[in-house]
Chain A
Amino acid sequence: MIRAGSCGQFEQIVLTAIVALGDNAYGVTIHNKVQELSRPKPVALGAVYVTLDRMEAKGFVSSTLSDPTPERGGRSKRCYRMEKAGERALRESAVIVQRMWDVLSQQLGPRGRRWRKA
């Protein structure tokens, strides 16, 4: 049994992908979006599935099966939607990332030139 709490980095990326995709968030599209967000690092489709399952157990997302479509061989999509707990966790993570970015901008300059050189 998984308890809801903060979300890890990969979960943040998957949640962001779900938000970006809106009603069209299902396995393949989420994977494509996650790959786009985390490039150049490759991401396995299975890693997305297991993260979605974990986040569903935490109550961050919920899923429903869509109607079957012919382009998928008459099979349904499992469509995902972000829930309140997921939204809260993502917002908390975004605030922390923003704070980190503020500190880094102060120390390394707004464009982070010194950081990039290092």
Chain B
Amino acid sequence: MNPEPSKVLQRAVRCLLPQGAREHVLGDLQERFVETGSSAGYLLDALRTLPYIVLGQIIRNVDGRLVAFEAVALIASFALYVLRKPAAGHTYAPAMLAVGVIALAALVLGDAYVEPRNRARYHTLRQPVLAYGAAWVAGLLLGAVIPALAPVPGIVLQSAASGFFFLFMGRILFVGLAGERSSPSAIGSFADVRLQAEGLKRRVRQRNVSEYAGVAIGVVASAIGVFRAHQPLLRAGLAVAIPGLLWAAYELYRRGSSRELPASLSETEAVAFLRSELARQRDALRNVHFWYLGPLVPAMVLISAARIAGHPWSWNLAFPGGSWAGFVFLLWWVNRRGARLLQRQIDALDGWEKQS
């Protein structure tokens, strides 16, 4: 039996390594450990290699264009804060730049550590949380070292709302564009058809579960808001949101629920099943404005109107309305692109069937 470093040491090194490099790098380190037999050597080897591994994973998993966009988004979120409080802009600009760099580094590392194909749906949401979390901690440390910079963590939190919005929307947009450029999975055999059917079912189920969870949270939050809000217009908007959300969830169940490929089907029947499933999901995405976004628009209009009503006009008031409109447009656009991708998968399936 070959000597092995202690399990604790192996686990510690495993935690430090990015997901995409764990398997082969741990194996390589183990092979080198067999030659030396020294635990200290193993740890030193791992620590010396780690920065290179992280750099390699950044090369593999991080897109420079997305990083550039995220840098602009972070600057924009801080700039919006400065627009509201211009004095703070001059005083804390260098400190905000420093925490912005930390936030960007957190975004890059967050992407480098998770392989693109293994990213969960919540990765898009997790990244802004990670970035602003890192920026906030950096702000706290700065404030502890230089007391004059104590307000920096507060500024980070106040600019986080717009930053979250920019980063989240940007990522959705970017993933949509990247998906459009990628070619559909090749079908070479009947086994690939089964694999595609299983993959589709899994993706659809994951999407629907997160959508239902989102609807449940939205309904509860709106119901609480109806009783607690003071403005009648806002209460009306939240009240209208509840049936809108429930309707969207019902339509999602009716049009876009996942279906399992029955094991008893013949090859021809299985291909027909996959095609019909792809077409059903494509149609659901294509008409998303009608059954998903449409029912939510009245609530969005009322909530935005409540924000604007009773205030003298300023550009700050344009933000909520503009955000909603941008968000709705982005969702519509991403779903249309998703529908086009599914159509390409259908075309690939038809092409394979003709050939075989």
Q: Please report A residues at the B interface, Cβ cutoff 8 Å.
A: 1-2, 26-28, 44-47, 49-50, 52-54, 56-57, 65, 68-73, 75-78
Contact = CB atoms under 8 A, between A and B. Distances in A.
Closest 6 CB pairs of A and B: A46-B52, A75-B27, A53-B56, A72-B27, A78-B24, A27-B28
7 contacts: A1-B63, A26-B28, A44-B48, A50-B53, A53-B60, A57-B60, A72-B31
Contacts of B55: 50, 53
Interface of B: 2, 4, 10, 21, 23-28, 30-32, 34, 45, 48-53, 55-57, 59-60, 63-65
A46 B2 contact: no
Nearest to B26: A75
A56 B27 CA distance: 20
Contacts of B53: 46, 49-50
Given A1-B65, A53-B57, A56-B60, A47 B24 contact: no
Contact of A28 (B10, B21, B28): B28
Contact of A27 (B2, B25, B50, B63): B25
A72 B25 CA distance: 10
Given A27-B24, A65-B24, A72 B30 contact: yes
Nearest to A79: B24
Contacts of A69: 27
A47 B55 CA distance: 10
Contacts of B25: 27, 49
Interface residue SS majority, chain B: helix
B52 to A, nearest CB: 3
Nearest to A47: B52
B232 to A, nearest CB: 52
Given A1-B65, A50-B59, A53-B57, A75 B23 contact: yes
A46 B60 contact: no
A71 B2 contact: yes
B49 A49 contact: yes
Contact of B59 (A53, A72, A75, A77): A53
Contacts of A44: 48-49, 52
A53 B25 CA distance: 13
Contacts of B24: 26-27, 65, 75-78
A71 B31 contact: yes
Nearest to B56: A53
Contacts of B23: 65, 75-76, 78
A46 B50 contact: yes
Contact of A73 (B30, B52, B59, B60): B30
A78 to B, nearest CB: 4
Nearest to A56: B60
A70 B49 contact: no
Nearest to B52: A46
Nearest to B53: A49
A27 B24 CA distance: 8
Given A1-B63, A28-B32, A50 B27 contact: no
Given A54-B59, A65-B24, A75-B24, A46 B48 contact: yes
A54 B55 CA distance: 9
B271 to A, nearest CB: 29
Given A1-B64, A50-B53, 6 more contacts: A44-B49, A49-B21, A71-B31, A72-B27, A73-B30, A77-B24
